[in-house]
Structure 1
């Protein structure tokens, strides 16, 4: 079995359907870019240009869109959303998604999403654009090159402050019920980006990056913070598998010719550790939660920090988690209690899925390490 065939087989571990066959989880490829001044006419025109090209290339598989509400995608409805976006005022926020999904409750493997900011927010929040493409694209002739072309086009068009591209877990537009699955998978595969709440980080990733993936996007300003393009190039003399891809407003650091899923416990590709080490000085150290819905953190501050440092070669043995949600792997063998910290204890083995109690959803069930409750 060649490498691509092996990756296609691994992708099956990410396939989840509802009992009626509706697909809700898939492994895919993403590009997520954070950019400034999304309220300006120039940036809105740049976003529309991206959507126009996306529609032209993928119209045969696109079925739905969300702009103010979910609706069937046709050329007429697409043009209407485009015109609304272009005519919106600087203090009007848009959220536009065009997708191969049939609606908001099934996963679309091919999609483009964008959300802007208000002028009154100034430089205190970022806008975001996100592309998703099927994992199976890598099995196609020149599939990786096609993906990288899209990455380059989006970077040239949007001129982002920073971003990332590579494997990620795709979910429906209306996704809260599946974030616990994403949390589990992202901890089992170190090369997979937990990213279904990308819009929730627009207030936190200001002048700093979330982390690295197969491709890491840096603006010229961030490149200069790392010593400049020449210094970055010089630091890669012993890592020829890392490519520096310039665009009009920065650099893309590509860690190898193809992305890696990196199952937990397996060897980490050198290209990933090298890029990770390069961007550590500008990695955001104060993210509250990568994944959070309705106030419930799936990747809370502690889990987020563990994920961000997963590729650090000098990372000390992480402290065991003292809180874990239902349907998530038990972090350590021992006694656990419900959030009320009652006297009733339950013994679980490391790796065992924590149960969900009757009447609770997975996000409502929180287990605490018994020693933590005793404090």
Structure 2
């Protein structure tokens, strides 16, 4: 196991939570979340379904169920049935679908892929998204790192991602409301944890802006050009040996270090994340909506704490 892996392993207990019956409701995981246009077209729906098929082909042994209106068991047969049904939906029909390793909507997953599309009547005023969840243990081997990097590139290319991000995140159940305070608390203690329990809530806000940076920052060609183009980006990041840039079909993936970092508050923000943020900060959403809705279960992200979270890599780190 890599040094990074051992460091994470030592923290897993404080990054996880189980109910008294042993049901895992908070986990550390690896994510990749991508936003893209034209999710209402047959062409893009077909590409998204290709992603679902590919994910099932590689990780199907871990997948137990699917969520589409309700949780049902997952089989090859009903997977294909839903794939074909989704491709045939009309341009103003919105669909949400998730394949998951969780045994119910009340359990946090280790493996998963989810999506929600936009509608034609909204045009370019709403994005679609696709997201995968994988075990954090992947980064403990070079083979696992390569698989993750393959998947973020594959998904970005298939859906012509406008922008996105990948890295460590708190994984909550599909029925996540009761556990938002835990996501809030952990995000205050670990700057590298992406707050991503509700990627669907950002689809109308991330049209002309990106969410921000994490271990991997995906920038479509439109955003690359806003920063001066690929050559300028490479030149500005040239002095940072731990930062790499990889091309996908529609843009660039900036990787802030070989491994993702938890960024414990006592250690400060990872320098590679700070460096990438400095370059792409101008693309970040200037007035983000709250990361959480109100929760009766405890403290969650409100307006001020949301603004602090988005600015966590801007320089000096302060407690929320």
Task: State the distance in 2 between where 1:150 and 1:9 align.
Answer: 27
Q: Does 1:308 align with 2:296?
A: no
Assess if the C-alpha contact under 8 Å between 2:169 and 2:196 holds in 1: yes
Matching of residues 100-111 of structure 1 within 5 Å: 100-111=101-112
Task: State the distance in 1 between where 2:61 and 2:222 align.
Answer: 39
**Deviation larger for 6-15 or 177-186:** 6-15
TM-score normalized by the length of structure 2: 0.95
Which position in structure 1 is the counterpart of 2:129? 128
TM-score normalized by the length of structure 1: 0.82
Q: Does 1:18 align with 2:19?
A: yes
Assess if the C-alpha contact under 8 Å between 1:195 and 1:291 holds in 2: no
Residue aligned with 1:194, SS: coil
Query: 1:312-365: per-residue Cα shift (whole Å, max 9, x none)?
Result: 12x5x86x8xxxxxxxxxx6xxxxxxxxxxxxxxxxxxxxxxxxxxxxxxxxxx
Q: Does 1:92 align with 2:93?
A: yes
Assess if the C-alpha contact under 8 Å between 2:40 and 2:119 holds in 1: yes
Unaligned runs of 5+ in 1: 321-330, 332-375
Q: Does 1:288 align with 2:289?
A: yes
Assess if the C-alpha contact under 8 Å between 1:44 and 1:85 holds in 2: yes
Q: Does 1:155 align with 2:138?
A: no
Query: 1:10-42: per-residue Cα shift (whole Å, max 9, x none)?
Result: 222211011111111100000000111100001
Compute the RMSD of aligned alpha carbons: 1.7
Residue aligned with 1:252, SS: strand
Query: 1:67-101: per-residue Cα shift (whole Å, max 9, x none)?
Result: 12210111112112112101100000100000000
Q: How many pairs were matched up? A: 318
Which position in structure 2 is the counterpart of 1:144? 145
Residue aligned with 1:232, SS: helix
**Deviation larger for 101-110 or 288-297:** 288-297
Runs (4+) of structure 1 moved beyond 3 Å?
A: 293-297
Which position in structure 2 is the counterpart of 1:117? 118
Q: CA deviation at 1:293?
A: 5.6
**Deviation larger for 124-133 or 304-313:** 304-313
Task: State the distance in 2 between where 1:235 and 1:183 align.
Answer: 33
CA spacing shift, 1:22–1:95, aligned 2, 3 Å: same
Task: State the distance in 2 between where 1:238 and 1:267 align.
Answer: 21
Residue aligned with 1:80, SS: helix
Q: CA deviation at 1:298?
A: 2.5
Query: 1:233-278: per-residue Cα shift (whole Å, max 9, x none)?
Result: 1111211211011111000110000000010121433211110101
Assess if the C-alpha contact under 8 Å between 1:222 and 1:282 holds in 2: yes
Q: Does 1:80 align with 2:61?
A: no
Assess if the C-alpha contact under 8 Å between 1:67 and 1:81 holds in 2: no
Task: State the distance in 2 between where 1:38 and 1:2 align.
Answer: 40
Which position in structure 1 is the counterpart of 2:270? 269
Q: CA deviation at 1:2?
A: 2.9
Assess if the C-alpha contact under 8 Å between 2:4 and 2:259 holds in 1: no
**Deviation larger for 40-49 or 9-18:** 9-18
Assess if the C-alpha contact under 8 Å between 2:180 and 2:295 holds in 1: no
